Amino acid sequence: MDISFAPEDLSFRDEVRALYVQAYDEELQGRLNSGELVIYTFGTHEQKERFRMHTN
């Protein structure tokens, strides 16, 4: 049984990873790395807009 990912799956994974690299600025990455628990929020309004721009 071949359980490896299809090339399309790997391509999608790479796209998602690139999106997060672009959308997570140093300030947000620092908050995540500090252990600060962020459950229902995703950074500041500016960071949300930047993330939204990368997803459209």
Domain residue ranges of the chain, discontinuous segments joined by +: 7-55
Contacts of 32 (CB under 8 A, 6+ apart): 24, 38
Cα separation, 54 vs 56, whole angstroms: 6
Tens of pLDDT along 6-49?
999 999 999 988 888 777 778 777 777 787 655 545 566 777 77
pTM: 0.46
Please, what is the end-to-end C-alpha distance for the chain in angstroms? 37
What integer pLDDT is reported at residue 48 of this predicted model?
Answer: 72
Give the helix/strand (H/E) hosting 29.
helix 26-33
What integer pLDDT is reported at residue 14 of this predicted model?
Answer: 93
